[in-house]
Amino acid sequence: MRWLPILALTLLMPLAGCTTTRPATYFVEPTGPYTLDTGDLVRVTVYGDQELSNSYRVGDNGTISFPLVGQVQVRGQTTTVAASRLAGALANGYLRNPNVAIEVAEYRPFFIQGAVRTSGQFSYVPNMTARAAISTAGGYTDTADRNQVTVYRRQGDEMVRGSVNLDFPLVPGDTVVVSERWF
């Protein structure tokens, strides 16, 4: 009877090397109101001045280049805050009581890679989920893990990742990775 625990331990030792450890996973948070960033195309409307109303792309430095006032920082701001900032710049010697509205004309893209039919960069659609992103990329390959995906997202100054279910909401700039399943 004494040999039973020793035999069990001897048989289980080789199996200890078979355990798999997953890489550290960080919590990818669903975000609040949409904030502007590089690659977004915004439609600026200056009421009463059709010449200033136009579409502007947010540059690599997080600004839009606007006539009369030059570079206006909009990265990390909602469209309402960005409109107020632009109105303030226009009121500083250019227009009297400017009324400015900003809306997103085109969101920055999202990226998808891994076990999907077409990896790459795709246009973001509001309220997109991981499931919709996979459909946009042509669906799964035959060897795809169809239960979860990994999402990489910039939060502040760092890139975080999280294993999420297929109904997780995406934001522009996310990278979705579909893993292969191992039989």
Whether the Cβ atoms of residue 52 and residue 68 lie closer than 8 Å to each other: yes
* Secondary structure of residue 169 in the 3-state scheme: strand
**What DSSP string runs through 63-113?**
EEEETTTEEEE-TT--HHHHHHHHHHHHHTTT-SS--EEEEEEEPPPEEEE
- pLDDT over 50 (residue 115): yes
- The partner residues of 54 in beta bridges, in order of sequence, read 44
pTM above 0.85, yes or no: no
> Could you tell me the pLDDT band of residue 29, with boundaries at 50, 70 and 90?
low
What average pLDDT does the segment 157-182 reach?
Answer: 91
Whether the Cβ atoms of residue 115 and residue 150 lie closer than 8 Å to each other: no
Q: Which domains, from first to last, does the chain contain? A: 41-106 (3.30.1950.10), 108-178 (3.10.560.10)
